[in-house]
Amino acid sequence: MRRVAVTGLGPVSSIGTGVAAFSAGLREGRSGISEITSFDASRFPYRNAGEVPDFDAAALLRRLDPAEWGRSSQLAAAAARLAATDGGFDADAPDPDRVGAVIGTTSGESVVMEQLTAQITDAGFATMDPALLAMLPAHRLAHAVSAELGLAGESVTMATACSASNYALGYAYDLIATGQAEVMFAGGADSVCRWAHAGFFRLGALTASACTPFDRDRSGILTGEGGAVLMLEELGRAQARGALIYAEVLGYGLNCDAKHPVAPDGPSIAECMRIAHRSADIKPSDVDYICAHGTGTPANDAMEAAAIAEVFGAVPPPVSSIKSMIGHTMGAASGFGAIATSLAIHQGFLPPTINWANADPAFPGLDPVPNVARPATVRVAQNNGFAFGGNNAITLFGAAA
């Protein structure tokens, strides 16, 4: 089986766009949470989210005209462009049909959906704008990446909700490992939207202003947005061209709770971790860091901590949640987790869980890397992603040998 390297990183996030800014944000424990400006939130009880208000698609994209693409496609394509530039991707490389894109998302072109809904509500179905209708299909997120980078290989949008980036990374890893592709751009994108803000609020899963994962008093998520794309490449190819290798993809695991549309299931999550460990051919004791799903809801963090304790024992490796900084970026979340994990391995630090104040007595052995990033040697790291629909997906990364 061929080995797969991470050779380019493309974060477009509320704590920084591009590797340098994002990495600095993680190290500083920066908060990307701000008052919502993308829609009128004045009549909502909670009005904060992890928007990327300074996202400038035109400045980042070289081929796509932003006017023809929805915000999520723009975020995906911009993140992919950053990853390609960071990774030194040569668009004129041979075999363009062996270079592809797999992009995960929860809500696809949610902003376009809301614009169309406003038209329907204001003046009826017949007034829907055909240009917006053309932007609506979610396959356009992956297609935007392919068009921006001139890729002829597989162009797939994984719509497995909030673990979708890990699904995308797992599939891209397999395509390279089995010799079906040479380079893949994989990750995810989503946009802040009114309906998700309302939906999470009514589920009782939204918090007011600070997301506090693994804290005793945690009270929910903040919705977030962004684009997170990694350039994955066959290891020998990366070595031959002298590429900087952030990390190696060691494997991944998927399973499905088959129990409840929204509630997580601890035993199923633990089983997903074991599947991922078998795929990567590692033992729990090999793992130096867990980049948690860590949404900050009472239910998720309790289930996740219990699953970690079940698999790793009483003293698991440090577990932090970057959602404390950037909010829950939905389909991009495990893509940001994968970027943070790759940086943790390459630069030797653990991203912190910010806003953390009180240990939860329910998980005494858990070290959330509270508030301040920490230097550490990370040889193997686990990146968790869970989702509505019981779609669990976990990726594993290792230091480049």
Partner 1 sequence: MTGLVITGWSELIPPVDPAADAAGLFDEPLPAARAAALVDFDVRAHLGRKGTSFYDRATALAVVACAAALRDSGIVVDEVGSARVGVVLGTTVGSFKSTSDFSRETLVQDKPYLVNPVLFPNTVMNCAAGQAAIRLGLRGVNATIAGGRLAMHQTLRYAVNALSRSTTEVLLVGAAEEFSPHRAWNGYRSGTDVGEGAAIFVVERADAPRHASPPVAALLGVASGFGWREAAPAALAGCVRRALAAAEVEPSMVDLVATSAAGSGPDSEYAVAVDVLGRSPEHLAVGQLLGECDAATGALGLAALLHRLRAEPTAVAVLTARTPDGGAAAAVLRGVP
Active site residues: 162, 293, 328
Choose between 234 and 257: whose C-beta lies nearer to partner 1. 257
Mask for 238-277, x = binds partner 1 (CB under 8 A): ----------------xxxxxxxxx-----x--x---x--
**Which of 386, 381, 385, 384 has the alpha carbon at shortest distance from 397?**
381
Q: Is residue 116 within 8 Å of 128, Cβ to Cβ?
A: yes
Q: Give min distance, CB of 213 to partner 1, in A.
A: 21
Tokens of 146: 């392919």
The angle formed by the CA atoms of residues 266, 249 and 335, to the nearest 5 degrees, is: 60
Choose between 121 and 283: whose C-beta lies nearer to partner 1. 121
User: By CB under 8 A, is residue 152 in contact with partner 1?
Assistant: yes
Q: Give min distance, CB of 23 to partner 1, in A.
A: 31
Q: Which range of residues in 22-30, 144-152, 219-227, 320-328 is near partner 1 by CB under 8 A?
A: 144-152
Q: Is residue 237 within 8 Å of 379, Cβ to Cβ?
A: no
Q: Which of residues 178-217 bind partner 1 (CB under 8 A)?
A: 178, 193-204
Burial 283-307 (b: 16+ CB within 10 A, else e): ebebbbbbbbbbbbbbebbbbbbbb
Euclidean distance between CA atoms 43 and 32, whole angstroms:
22
User: By CB under 8 A, is residue 391 in contact with partner 1?
Assistant: yes
Euclidean distance between CA atoms 101 and 149, whole angstroms:
10
Choose between 110 and 324: whose C-beta lies nearer to partner 1. 110
Tell me the chain's radius of gyration from C-alpha atoms: 19
User: Alpha helices, DSSP H only, in 153-283?
Assistant: 164-177, 194-202, 235-240, 266-280
Q: Give min distance, CB of 224 to partner 1, in A.
A: 16
User: By CB under 8 A, is residue 234 in contact with partner 1?
Assistant: no
Q: Which range of residues in 158-166, 208-216, 297-305, 377-385 is near partner 1 by CB under 8 A?
A: 158-166
Mask for 84-123, x = binds partner 1 (CB under 8 A): -------------x--xx---xxxxx---xx-xxx-xx--
Q: What is the residue whose two structure tokens read 């766009």?
A: 17
DSSP E strands in 176-296: the ranges are 183-190, 226-234, 247-256, 289-291
213 secondary structure, DSSP code: T
Q: Which of 24, 58, 133, 208 binds partner 1 (CB under 8 A)?
A: 133
Q: Give min distance, CB of 210 to partner 1, in A.
A: 19
Q: Which of 158, 184, 247, 319 binds partner 1 (CB under 8 A)?
A: 158
Q: Give min distance, CB of 161 to partner 1, in A.
A: 5
User: By CB under 8 A, is residue 357 in contact with partner 1?
Assistant: no
